[in-house]
């Protein structure tokens, strides 16, 4: 029987910040199937405001609730004030919908959205009073599974999870839950059940894999220790993306969430091929919904929710082959309703600015661009296919159209970066300022705001830069000085984050299974909400690591050779390793690689190795 804890939680609601995080009963939240015999919960390891906005979990929540006999709830990490109270009063973490303790559920799916969420995963499991390590759990505990963008290198968190779902889970989760229910009904032992689950495509069961002896590690570090489990776990791709429901969620939160609007995923994948970008490799091939489907989903979403804003989401929204048609039609339909349309990012060319202008109406807030690197040379190296002319044209276009505030994103510490490349950022900023001045009225010049934002590059698994060691912090410090000096005297502001978090991120992004021990220890000493700048405890991480014998800087800055075994080699992102190698070589020669949705197939392997294919709603034309 399950224990309902909501009445206990209620005694705390007046004592914590933002109680609406904990009360559920939002408009559009699913009514649970009272006859369900299988109870699942999708959990996001951060606050309600961050997690509720996550589209991936929202999709799985809807899919599971539509299954006969299955009910699915939501859970988030309680903020520290609530967590402390719950822990002190022995109140376990609960499913938001029912208020029942999570430890009585059958399945808890936890999103691994980014590396800095690791301590919150442990914090949430611990608050739920569920054993943290997979090997400590029994059939009495819920099955704990992970999914999401960062599981492409699951090893640092592998010890905490019973199963890891690799790739897009819309179809996979149904097969997985079916197999789990069958195993429960048949009364299988935990080991047999996990084996049955390992047979579902794309399911990685960490305890059936172990580190190979050093001399046997030719390509991979981890290999099966149980007969019948796949040697390599393949990333799953939804076959009929177009046929999936575009309106992932119609829950209308009371608390202001980070993306508080209707979100319609208009296309999936991006093959522009930026060499630093994991998402650009890991969500191929590109698949678009049709304009008709998108327009009607937007209208339906607005009507169901009452939101006054809609976001057309994807990795590269303005690349949609029918984007102009979509925006024009939406503008027409939404005139005089006060509804805003937002695009998550701007493509840095004149078309990108035209599309931004199409939805901005008369309100021109800020416009954000990501040239990523200052010089053309370095942009070619990273395959950011935008030219000097594109950059100038888009800044000119932005100021001509009436924007006065722009933000430019850069990365520092990219492979092959020289001081000249850094100085090129300053020169670009200077040019941006001049273009801005020349393209607005003299009386408007004081309103010009140009911000350059520089982040430290973090190499990720399954990208052409997976072998590249991060640049040492001392050297980064020097480079930041070069960058600072290169900045124009006036008109431009520089933001940079020189925090140690990017090194932790790098360690976890390319780390191996031994890190579980460190994550556990750091969490035990009080680390949580590491992704929140004011909560982050980098010092604690570094001190604990030293005590346990990890050299974090060495791990972050370590470079691999192409022949070296990698900790994530047993996870197959479907992009060929040879392709990544070739991309890295082309990078070293500053050679660009075309986007296969605009040009020809470049043989990354995704389409050739599966039955997936690029699926566009129309032709993508090069300007």
Partner 1 sequence: MLNNQIGFKLRVRYQKISRLRYLSHLEVLRAIERSIRRAELPFALTQGFSPHMKIAYSAALPLGAESLDEYFDVNLTDFVDTKEALKRLQDNSPENLYPLDAKYIDPKSDSLTKALTISEYEISLSSPQLSPEHIQLALDEILNRNYIEFDKKGKIKKLELQTRLYKKPQLTTIDTGKYQLNLITRALDSGSLRPDILIDALAREIEIAAPDVELCTRAIKFKDLGLDLRFDRFRVFESVLIKRTAQYIEEVTGEIKRGI
The distance of closest approach from Cβ of residue 25 to partner 1 in the complex, given in angstroms and rounded to an integer, is: 6
Q: Residue 271: which of ligand SF4, partner 1, none does it interact with, CB under 5 to 8 A by kind?
A: ligand SF4
Task: Give, in order, the Cα–Cα distances in Å from 358 to each of 322, 351, 550.
Answer: 14, 10, 52
Q: Which one, 440 or 601, has the nearer CB to ligand SF4?
A: 601
Q: At what angle do helices 323-334 and 350-360 cross, to 10 degrees?
A: 10
The distance of closest approach from Cβ of residue 271 to ligand SF4 in the complex, given in angstroms and rounded to an integer, is: 5
The distance of closest approach from Cβ of residue 520 to partner 1 in the complex, given in angstroms and rounded to an integer, is: 24
* Choices 21-29, 212-220, 376-384, 419-427; region in contact with partner 1 by CB under 8 A: 21-29
The distance of closest approach from Cβ of residue 509 to ligand SF4 in the complex, given in angstroms and rounded to an integer, is: 23
Q: How many residues does the chain have?
A: 623
What six digits make up the tokens of 319? 């690349």
Say if residue 285 is exposed, middle or buried (CB neighbours under 10 Å; 0-12, 13-18, 19+). Answer: buried
Task: Assess 524 for contact with partner 1 (CB under 8 A).
Answer: no
> For the chain, how many helices (H) and strands (E)?
21, 19
- Provide the pairing of β-strand 262-265 with 222-224: unpaired
Q: Residue 343: which of partner 1, ligand SF4, none does it interact with, CB under 5 to 8 A by kind?
A: none
Distance of CA 193 to the CA centre of its chain: 30
Task: Assess 602 for contact with ligand SF4 (CB under 6 A).
Answer: yes
CA distance 349 to 21: 40
Task: Assess 234 for contact with ligand SF4 (CB under 6 A).
Answer: no
Total number of residues that touch ligand SF4 (CB under 6 A): 13
Site for partner 1 in 339-398 (CB under 8 A): 340, 362-363
Q: Residue 401: which of ligand SF4, partner 1, none does it interact with, CB under 5 to 8 A by kind?
A: none
Q: Residue 604: which of ligand SF4, partner 1, none does it interact with, CB under 5 to 8 A by kind?
A: ligand SF4
Task: Assess 179 for contact with ligand SF4 (CB under 6 A).
Answer: no
Task: Assess 606 for contact with ligand SF4 (CB under 6 A).
Answer: yes
Query: Among 389, 481, 533, 603, which residue interacts with ligand SF4 (rule: CB under 6 A)?
Result: 603
Query: Among 440, 540, 601, 616, which residue interacts with ligand SF4 (rule: CB under 6 A)?
Result: 601
Tokens 């967590």 -> residue: 83
Cα angle 111-532-62, degrees, rounded to a multiple of 5: 25
Say if residue 583 is exposed, middle or buried (CB neighbours under 10 Å; 0-12, 13-18, 19+). Answer: buried
CA distance 158 to 207: 8
Q: Residue 148: which of partner 1, ligand SF4, none does it interact with, CB under 5 to 8 A by kind?
A: none
CA distance 421 to 515: 35
Site for partner 1 in 159-218 (CB under 8 A): none
Helix (H, G, I), strand (E, B) or coil at 115: helix
CB 111 within 8 A of CB 125: no
Task: Assess 494 for contact with ligand SF4 (CB under 6 A).
Answer: no
Binding mask 237-266 for partner 1 (x = CB under 8 A): ---------------x-xxx----------
Task: Assess 341 for contact with ligand SF4 (CB under 6 A).
Answer: no
Task: Assess 19 for contact with partner 1 (CB under 8 A).
Answer: yes
Query: Among 2, 8, 23, 210, which residue interacts with partner 1 (rule: CB under 8 A)?
Result: 23
CB 502 within 8 A of CB 458: yes
Binding mask 80-109 for partner 1 (x = CB under 8 A): -x--xx--xx--------------------
How many other C-beta atoms can be found within 10 angstroms of the C-beta atom of residue 621?
Answer: 8
Site for ligand SF4 in 254-273 (CB under 6 A): 271
CB 465 within 8 A of CB 584: yes
The distance of closest approach from Cβ of residue 170 to ligand SF4 in the complex, given in angstroms and rounded to an integer, is: 19
Cα angle 53-571-315, degrees, rounded to a multiple of 5: 35
- The secondary structure of 261-310 as a DSSP string is SEEEE-EE---S--TT-SHHHHTPSPEE--HHHHHHHHHHHHHHH--SEE
Helices (H), 277-418: 279-282, 291-305, 323-334, 350-360, 376-381, 388-401
* Choices 16-24, 207-215, 418-426, 439-447; region in contact with partner 1 by CB under 8 A: 16-24
Q: Which one, 242 or 364, has the nearer CB to partner 1?
A: 364
Binding mask 285-304 for partner 1 (x = CB under 8 A): -----------------xxx
Q: Residue 185: which of partner 1, ligand SF4, none does it interact with, CB under 5 to 8 A by kind?
A: none
Task: Assess 528 for contact with ligand SF4 (CB under 6 A).
Answer: no
Binding mask 559-598 for ligand SF4 (x = CB under 6 A): -------------------------------------x--
What six digits make up the tokens of 363? 């309100």
Helix (H, G, I), strand (E, B) or coil at 439: coil
Helix (H, G, I), strand (E, B) or coil at 492: strand
Task: Assess 548 for contact with ligand SF4 (CB under 6 A).
Answer: no
Q: Among residues 45, 42, 81, 263, which one has the least CA distance to residue 170?
A: 42
Task: Assess 239 for contact with ligand SF4 (CB under 6 A).
Answer: no
Q: How many Cα atoms are found within 13 Å in the side-chain-facing hemisphere of 267?
A: 29
Query: Among 43, 604, 617, 620, which residue interacts with ligand SF4 (rule: CB under 6 A)?
Result: 604
Query: Among 607, 610, 615, 616, which residue interacts with ligand SF4 (rule: CB under 6 A)?
Result: 607
CA distance 405 to 322: 28
Q: Which one, 59 or 612, has the nearer CB to ligand SF4?
A: 612
Binding site for ligand SF4 (CB under 6 A): 271, 284-285, 596, 601-608, 614
Binding site for partner 1 (CB under 8 A): 11, 13-16, 18-20, 23-25, 27, 81, 84-85, 88-89, 252, 254-256, 302-308, 336, 338, 340, 362-363
């Amino acid at each position: 029987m399950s224990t309902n804890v909501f009445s206990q939680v209620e005694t705390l609601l007046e004592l914590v910040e933002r109680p609406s995080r904990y009360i559920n009963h939002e408009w559009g939240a699913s009514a649970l199937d009272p006859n369900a015999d299988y109870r699942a919960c999708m959990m996001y390891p951060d606050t309600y405001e961050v997690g509720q906005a996550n589209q991936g979990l929202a999709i799985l929540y809807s899919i599971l609730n539509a299954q006969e006999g299955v009910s699915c709830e939501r859970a988030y990490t309680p903020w520290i004030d609530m967590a402390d109270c719950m822990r002190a009063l022995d109140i376990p973490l609960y499913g938001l919908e029912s208020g029942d303790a999570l430890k009585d559920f059958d399945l808890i799916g936890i999103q691994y959205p980014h590396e800095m969420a690791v301590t919150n995963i442990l914090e949430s499991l611990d608050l739920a009073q569920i054993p943290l390590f997979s090997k400590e759990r029994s059939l009495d505990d819920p099955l704990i599974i992970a999914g999401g963008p960062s599981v492409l290198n699951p090893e640092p968190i592998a010890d905490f999870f019973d199963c890891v779902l690799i790739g897009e889970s819309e179809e996979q989760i149904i097969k997985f839950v079916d197999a789990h229910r069958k195993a429960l009904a048949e009364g299988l032992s935990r080991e047999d059940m996990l084996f049955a689950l390992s047979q579902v495509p794309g399911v990685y069961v960490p305890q059936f894999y172990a580190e190979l002896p050093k001399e046997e590690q030719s390509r991979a570090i981890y290999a099966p220790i149980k007969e019948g489990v796949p040697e390599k776990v393949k990333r799953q791709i939804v076959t009929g993306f177009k046929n999936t429901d575009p309106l992932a969620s119609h829950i209308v939160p009371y608390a202001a969430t980070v993306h508080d609007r209707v979100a319609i995923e208009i296309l999936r994948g991006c093959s522009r091929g930026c060499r630093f970008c994991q998402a650009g490799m890991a969500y191929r091939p590109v698949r678009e919904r049709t304009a008709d489907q998108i327009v009607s989903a937007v209208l339906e979403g607005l009507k169901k929710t009452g939101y006054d804003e809609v976001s057309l989401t994807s990795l590269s929204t303005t690349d949609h082959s029918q984007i102009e048609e979509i925006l024009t039609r939406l503008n027409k339909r939404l005139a005089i309703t006060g509804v805003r349309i937002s695009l998550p990012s701007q493509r840095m060319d004149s078309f990108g600015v035209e599309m931004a202008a199409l939805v901005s109406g008369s309100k021109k807030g800020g416009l954000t661009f990501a040239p990523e690197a200052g010089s053309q040379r370095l942009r070619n190296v990273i395959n950011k296919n935008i030219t000097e002319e594109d950059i100038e044209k888009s800044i000119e276009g932005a100021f001509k159209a009436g924007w006065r505030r722009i933000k430019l994103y850069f990365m520092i510490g990219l492979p092959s970066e020289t001081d000249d490349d850094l100085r090129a950022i300053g020169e670009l900023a200077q040019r941006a300022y001049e273009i801005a001045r020349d393209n607005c009225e003299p009386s408007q010049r004081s309103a010009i705001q140009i911000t350059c934002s520089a982040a430290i590059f973090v190499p990720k698994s399954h990208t052409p830069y997976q072998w590249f060691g991060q640049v040492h912090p001392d050297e980064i410090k020097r480079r930041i000085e070069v960058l600072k000096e290169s900045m124009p005297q006036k008109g431009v502001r520089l933001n940079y984050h020189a925090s140690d978090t990017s090194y932790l991120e790098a360690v976890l992004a390319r780390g191996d299974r031994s890190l579980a021990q460190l994550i556990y220890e750091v969490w035990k000493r009080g680390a949580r909400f590491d992704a929140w700048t004011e909560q982050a405890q980098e010092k604690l991480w570094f001190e604990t690591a030293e005590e346990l014998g990890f050299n974090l800087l060495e791990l972050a800055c370590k470079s691999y050779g192409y022949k070296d075994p990698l900790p994530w080699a047993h996870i197959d992102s479907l992009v060929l390793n040879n392709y990544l190698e070739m991309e890295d070589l082309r990078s070293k020669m500053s050679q660009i690689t075309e986007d296969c949705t605009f040009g020809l197939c470049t043989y990354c392997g995704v389409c050739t190795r599966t039955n997936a294919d690029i699926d566009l709603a129309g032709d993508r034309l090069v300007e």
